[in-house]
Amino acid sequence: MAVLVADELTKEYGDVVALADFKLSVDPGELIAMVGHNGSGKSTFLRLVAGLLEPSDGVLVVANAPAGSTKARAEVSFVPDQPVLYDDLSVNEHIEFTARLHGELEWPERADALLDLLGLTARADDLPSRFSRGLRQKTSLVLGLVRPFSILLVDEPFVGLDPSGQAALTELLVEAASAGAAVLVATHQLSFLEHATRCVALRDGHTEFEGKVDIGRIQSLLG
């Protein structure tokens, strides 16, 4: 049964249409890559699912609840493209706060594993406000993954990550999908497509392609 359903979903900013009549149904365990040029509507869709934006028209149901509702927020974890972190909390304090907000009791073990995989263990007591872009991105990823979720939304996650970080992140995303979560990743990195079960290509807010990953076709679509 689909965990995410978008039907005739439209988002307008004044006279600019960011997403038009968008349709998508996502099942648990799917790893979907969303591709498209800048301004194609990828981030807008992820932010609509996260509840950060409100649809101008259409239907968006997340875990049988309207997107943005309390029930939907319990199921959706969103990692934005720009890390958004508190200036005065350490990595560990961020993790603890996030886990508390989601009623997660077994967070220390999960956090340790994530910090280790992303190479942040030694920096766990430091303030991310003093980190490089890549380390802030890793912190943001840990916060997105440490809490329970059935839908994981990740916007441009590879930007600023070193090759080992990119490999670790890919492993984590595949692992999340294998564990039964629906994972949606907006990316410009076409090499990630080989790990995806499905691909959605957008252009100017409209769906250009949706189906099994065909890298050659996607490349030609994106020019």
Point out which residues bind another protein (CB under 8 A). Answer: 14-15, 50-54, 68, 70-71, 73-74, 76, 78, 80, 84-86, 88-89, 93, 97-98, 100-104, 143, 148
- Beta bridge pairs of residue 155: 186
Place of tokens 């967070």: 107
53 vs 177, beta carbon nearer another protein = 53
Q: What tokens does 100 get?
A: 């508390």
Task: Report the residue number, 102 or 110, with the smaller CB distance to another protein.
Answer: 102
Query: CA-CA distances (angstroms) from residue 133 to 78, 81, 157, 192, 209?
Result: 18, 11, 12, 21, 32
* CB nearer to another protein: pick between 6 and 62: 62
Nearer to another protein, 76 or 199 (CB): 76
Could you tell me the smallest distance in angstroms from the CB atom of residue 133 to another protein?
Answer: 16
Min dist CB 11 to another protein, Å, is 10
The answer to whether the beta carbons of residues 186 and 200 sit under 8 Å apart is: no
Q: How far is the CB of 139 from another protein (least distance, A)?
A: 11
What's the CA gap between 183 and 153, in Å, rounded? 6
Q: How far is the CB of 150 from another protein (least distance, A)?
A: 12
Question: Residue 110 Cβ, how far from another protein at the closest point, in Å?
Answer: 15
Shortest Cβ 4–another protein spacing (Å):
16
Q: Which residues of 147-179 are buried (b: 16+ CB within 10 A; e: fewer)?
A: bebbbbbbbbbbebbeeebbebbbebbeebbee
Which lies closer to another protein via its Cβ, residue 13 or residue 191?
13
Pull the structure tokens for residue 182. 């629906």
Query: What's the sign of the alpha-carbon dihedral 160, 206, 177, 190?
Result: negative
Q: Given the complex with another protein, which of 94 and 198 has the nearer CB atom?
A: 94
Q: How is the chain split among helix, strand and coil, in percent rounded to 5?
A: 40, 25, 35
